Structure 1
Amino acid sequence: MIEAAMLWNEPNNKSHWDPEVDPEWTTYADCVIRAGNAIRSINPHLTRVLGGMSPIDPQWVLRMAGHGALDAVDVVAVHGFPLDWNLWPIHAWPDKIAEIEAVTDKPVWVTEVGVGSFGAEEVQVFGIRRTAELLIGRVPRIFWYSLYDLPMHWGAETRHREAEGSSYYRHFYMGLIREDGTPKPALEDYAKVAGEMGLMQWFHFEDPRLDDAVAWMKRLGTRTLRTGLSWADSFRPGAIDWFDRQMEALADFDVTLTFCFTPQHLGVAPHHTSAPRDPQAFADFCAWMVERYAPATPIRRVVTA
């Protein structure tokens, strides 16, 4: 079941949306409005989520409201990594949620939260225990990032890559399972809360980990998953075969599906973080994916508050 569609990933993070191309986020807001309306026309039951923000910034939410983008979504999402990238302590999570609740009446979801094992695997154990204590029961949806470590040879989807220093290398240690497939100590702690805290796991094009990931999530008791379908990948040969295989494999989970990554040939700049030249092209991609994988059914929309 596809329970929600998220419109981009971290659009207020310069690693995922180029601020030089769209400094006021007017194009992004246009993408959200067009895509949100298109999704609603196809499946009025599907929950629409504003791209999870990182950093957590109430002023950015107000900017989106001013552009009219919040009228086209049902949920506002936040991402937080207080022990890896953010300049605030982990115990500030309730305050960070309250900051966003103070500027919008939309439900707030935590669509990425994580603690890496870059420094020590024991830190990750503490991180998942404390995160569960702070967020379970506080917000309707939580997605832990992530199930797997990112293979070093794949590279992280950031704009500046190794120039980010240690911040870049932390991307490769956020999983509960190491690159070689062996579990880290924190996996056991995650299993205790898997029914209340979902997972966020990106699957790369023709990702060889897909079937193993499904087996792990079922074993752990995970019910909710956030993942993505790449607009850029949709132009690859065999893209629809891969999308179909991915979505069929995930059919037993409640999925929040993220639409993002601009095809180079459709961007203002030739990069996946660029705003598209035509926002309607992004909306058309979202509509196509919703028609294919989340057509309207007589079910109620997911509870968001």
Structure 2
Amino acid sequence: MLEAAMIWNEPNNKSHWDPEVDPGWGRFAEMAILAAQAIRAENASLPRVLGGISPIDPGFLANMQARCVLEHMDVLAVHGFPLDWNLWQIDEWPHKLAQIRAHHDKPLWVTEVGVSSFGAEEVQAWGVDRTAELLIGRTPRVYWYSLYDLPSAWEATTRHREAEGSSYYRHFYMGLLREDGSPKAALERFACHAPRLGVCQWFHFEDHR
């Protein structure tokens, strides 16, 4: 069952949209509006979600508002990984949501949040519980990223790959399940919070999983 349509993913992340090609996100804005209009033409009741922003930047949404993108969206979304990549602490989640809500009254979803097991599985398990405590009840939808670890033979979608050091390799340890499908300690903790805590899982074309 299709419950919503998300337009792009992390449009303000340089790994997913090239600001050198489109420095003001003008082309992105045009594309997003056209996509939103096409979705509305096919299904008038399907919520249109602006791709989760990462970093959580009110300035980017102000740009999208100025370019008339937000009037074509029904839901805004954010992504956050404070224990792995973001320059803020996990307990700042309520403040991060408040920063967006101070300027926008549309529903706000957290469509990707996660903690890697790169350092220790116990850290990830703790991260599931703390994330649930901080976000469930503060936003209508929260999705844990991800179910599966990224296969080690694949590449993560980043600009500099291995040159990023441990920041790059953390991409391969975000799952509740290891690459071989075996469960990590965090899976049991996740089960305690489901279905209030959902799962975000990206699949490639012809993904073997």
TM range (shorter): over 0.9
Other-structure match for 1:55: 55
Supply the AA of the counterpart residue of 2:74: D
CA deviation map 1:217-262 (0-9, x unaligned): xxxxxxxxxxxxxxxxxxxxxxxxxxxxxxxxxxxxxxxxxxxxxx
Other-structure match for 1:156: 156
Other-structure match for 1:40: 40
Other-structure match for 1:77: 77
Supply the distance in 1 between the matched residues of 2:111 and 2:49 (Cα, whole angstroms): 10
SS class of match (1:14):
coil
SS class of match (2:3):
strand
Other-structure match for 1:121: 121
TM-score, normalising length from structure 2?
0.98
Supply the distance in 2 between the matched residues of 1:5 and 1:171 (Cα, whole angstroms): 25
- TM alignment of 1:1-305, pairs within 5 A: 1-209=1-209
Give me the identity figure in percent: 68
TM-score, normalising length from structure 1?
0.68
Supply the distance in 2 between the matched residues of 1:108 and 1:169 (Cα, whole angstroms): 29
Supply the AA of the counterpart residue of 1:109: W
CA deviation map 1:194-225 (0-9, x unaligned): 1111100011122221xxxxxxxxxxxxxxxx
Number of residue pairs matched? 209
Q: Larger relative contact order (C-alpha < 8 A, sep ≥ 6)? A: 1
CA deviation map 1:155-185 (0-9, x unaligned): 1122321122211111000000111221000
Q: Which runs of 4+ in 1 moved over 2 A?
A: none
Q: How big is the shift at 1:140? A: 0.6
SS class of match (2:15):
coil
Q: How big is the shift at 1:103? A: 1.2
Supply the distance in 1 between the matched residues of 2:25 and 2:166 (Cα, whole angstroms): 28
Supply the distance in 2 between the matched residues of 1:14 and 1:167 (Cα, whole angstroms): 15
SS class of match (1:41):
helix
Supply the distance in 2 between the matched residues of 1:147 and 1:113 (Cα, whole angstroms): 12
RMSD: 0.8
Other-structure match for 1:232: none
Larger Rg: 1
SS class of match (1:54):
coil
Question: 1:112 touches 1:142 (CA, 8 Å); kept in 2?
Answer: yes
Supply the distance in 1 between the matched residues of 2:33 and 2:160 (Cα, whole angstroms): 29
